[in-house]
């Protein structure tokens, strides 16, 4: 049975991890930075060395194509992203791109020509760490964003996406976008602890949690901390703190993988001897079904208003983003699961808690994901790690999935 070259995959991941490498062993490779350009250049060079043709679209997405015997047939698309968060890890995103490249290399080395072409994609700006929102390039392919909107996104220094795309020489042509996609498979590290806790290396991903982001502004009365009696206060901080605990308790009423997180907590003016007159709280709710997402959102609003009334403050609740749950193509999920079993591993299906480019590509093509175990469940950090045996198994599963989809 044909196997991927695990040693070459490991070497590629470690070499790519040097670009933007940090002293603590992580990676800072922000979208359209000089480090991102170096990573793109290296990926393109490796692809061409393997006999693949490389093109770039108007969003900076790179496509490395292994031509099939029927070039007009819609291709099988594989990949992920090469950008990282600040002080991130070597494997988030890059594992998907380079595992896909290794599949193409393996087929080329073995002289296997598939019927459908295989394209390895590096999506621009998956993380959204420099240009918000995240996943804007794949989202534009899916018709969710207009190109001008993307080009006008600015980083904290005021540099625009379009200007930086031109500066590093990666604004290609809209004609290079994929016209039709037979299937998209994204291989990714889990970024969580579930697989490791269950002693499993791989899982077929059947969807992505629905998401709602909410900003809550608690408005009370700003007063001096000393002369203000406790029982007469309208303390926005207390209301906000109570809400954080109540939201945690709300989430615990639902089974995994339901989660509610408060990731932003901003008292105004934030002075130690002043009762805050205003506190802004940012809430991230992720649930597995549209019904439960709506239910938890409604219950969260109810408890926030109840707490505000009890604390004699006002609460302004504003939804700033809402994305319904993603359900991947059932046939692709079953195919991935079958190949995991063929690898001699237990079957496992998961729902992803994090968003990926697959969420948007799922809107225009049959899509699924393959997860690989993350050591310690750690991701978006410099200690992010995988087991190399797991990487080999993931590459072999992806190879067989691709051969079935592309027709070997």
Contact 289, 170 (CB under 8 A): no
Share of the chain above pLDDT 90, in %: 97
Contact 229, 394 (CB under 8 A): no
Q: Please report how many Cα atoms fall inside a 13 Å half-sphere around the Cα of residue 116, on the Cβ side.
A: 19
Closest CA to 166 of 19, 20, 58: 58
Provide the pLDDT confidence category of residue 83 given band limits of 50, 70 and 90: very high
Provide the pLDDT confidence category of residue 340 given band limits of 50, 70 and 90: very high
Q: What is the mean pLDDT of residues 79-95?
A: 97
Enter the tokens of residue 185. 């498979």
Neighbours of 14 (CB within 10 A): 11
Neighbours of 151 (CB within 10 A): 18
Q: What is the mean pLDDT of residues 338-353?
A: 96
Mean pLDDT of all residues belonging to the chain: 97
Q: H helices of 153-216, where?
A: 161-167, 194-197
φ, ψ of residue 210 to 5 degrees: the values are -70, 155
φ, ψ of residue 6 to 5 degrees: the values are -65, -35
Is residue 323's pLDDT more than 90? Answer: no
**Given this model, what pLDDT does residue 1 score?**
81
Distance CA 136, CA 128 (A): 8
Beta bridge partners of 196: none
Enter the tokens of residue 12. 């590629």
Domain at 6-208+325-406, CATH from 3.20.20.140, 3.30.465.10, 1.10.357.10, 3.40.630.10: 3.40.630.10
Residue-by-residue DSSP string for 15-33: HHHTTTB-TTS-B---TTS
Closest CA to 234 of 160, 314, 351: 314
Residues of the chain with CATH 3.40.630.10: 6-208+325-406
Enter the tokens of residue 101. 């490249």
**Given this model, what pLDDT does residue 378 score?**
94
- CATH number for the domain running over 210-323: 3.30.70.360
Distance CA 132, CA 153 (A): 7
Provide the pLDDT confidence category of residue 186 given band limits of 50, 70 and 90: very high
- Tens digits of residue pLDDT in 223-249: 999 999 999 999 999 999 999 999 999
Is residue 321's pLDDT more than 90? Answer: no
Sequence-ordered list of residues with C-beta below 8 angstroms from that of 31, at least 6 positions apart, any chain:
83, 124, 125, 127, 129, 130, 131, 164
DSSP label at residue 127: S
> How many helices (H) does the chain have, and how many strands (E)?
12, 15
**Given this model, what pLDDT does residue 408 score?**
79
- Tens digits of residue pLDDT in 4-42: 999 999 999 999 999 999 999 999 999 999 999 999 999
Give the three-state DSSP class for 5. Answer: coil
**Given this model, what pLDDT does residue 250 score?**
98
Is residue 45's pLDDT more than 90? Answer: yes
Q: What is the mean pLDDT of residues 99-116?
A: 98
- Tens digits of residue pLDDT in 168-181: 999 999 999 999 99
Residues of the chain with CATH 3.30.70.360: 210-323
Give the three-state DSSP class for 82. Answer: coil
Residue-by-residue DSSP string for 101-121: HHHHHHHHHHT---SS-EEEE
Distance CA 260, CA 10 (A): 36
- Model's pTM, two decimal places? 0.91
């Amino acid at each position: 049975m044909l196997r991927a070259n695990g040693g070459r995959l490991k070497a590629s991941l470690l070499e790519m991890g040097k670009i933007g490498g940090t002293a603590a062993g992580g990676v800072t490779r922000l979208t359209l930075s000089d480090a991102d350009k170096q990573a793109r250049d290296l990926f393109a060079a490796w692809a061409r060395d393997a006999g693949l043709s490389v093109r770039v679209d108007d969003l900076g997405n790179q496509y490395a194509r292994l031509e099939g015997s029927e070039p007009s047939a819609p291709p099988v698309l594989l990949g992920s992203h090469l950008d990282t968060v600040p002080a991130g890890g070597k494997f988030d995103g890059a594992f998907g791109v380079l595992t896909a490249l290794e599949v193409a290399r393996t087929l080329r080395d073995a002289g296997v020509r598939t019927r459908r072409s295989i394209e390895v994609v590096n999506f621009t700006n998956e993380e959204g760490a420099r240009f918000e929102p995240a996943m804007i390039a794949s989202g534009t392919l899916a018709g969710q964003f207009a190109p001008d909107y993307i080009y006008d996104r600015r980083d904290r220094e005021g540099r625009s996406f379009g200007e930086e795309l031109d500066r590093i020489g990666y604004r290609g042509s809209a004609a290079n976008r994929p016209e039709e996609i037979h299937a998209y498979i994204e291989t990714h590290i889990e970024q969580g602890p579930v697989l490791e806790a269950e002693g499993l290396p791989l899982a077929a991903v059947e969807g992505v949690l629905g998401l709602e982001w909410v900003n809550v502004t608690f408005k009370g009365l700003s007063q001096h901390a000393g002369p203000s009696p406790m029982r007469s206060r309208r303390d926005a901080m207390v209301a906000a703190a109570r809400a954080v605990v109540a939201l945690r308790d709300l989430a615990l009423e639902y089974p995994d993988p339901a989660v509610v997180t408060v990731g932003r907590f901003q008292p105004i003016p934030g002075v130690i001897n002043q009762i805050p007159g205003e506190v802004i709280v940012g809430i991230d709710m992720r649930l597995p079904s549209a019904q439960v997402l709506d239910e938890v959102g409604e219950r969260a609003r109810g408890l926030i208003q109840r707490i505000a009334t009890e604390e004699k403050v006002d609460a302004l609740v504003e939804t700033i983003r809402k994305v319904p749950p993603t359900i991947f193509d059932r046939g692709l999920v079953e195919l991935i699961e079958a190949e995991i079993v063929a690898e001699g591993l237990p079957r496992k299906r998961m729902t992803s808690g994090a968003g990926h480019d697959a969420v948007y590509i799922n809107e225009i093509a049959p899509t699924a994901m393959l997860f690989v175990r993350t050591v310690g469940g750690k991701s978006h950090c410099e200690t992010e790690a995988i087991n190399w045996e797991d990487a080999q198994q993931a590459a072999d599963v992806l190879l067989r999935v691709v051969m079935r989809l592309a027709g070997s």
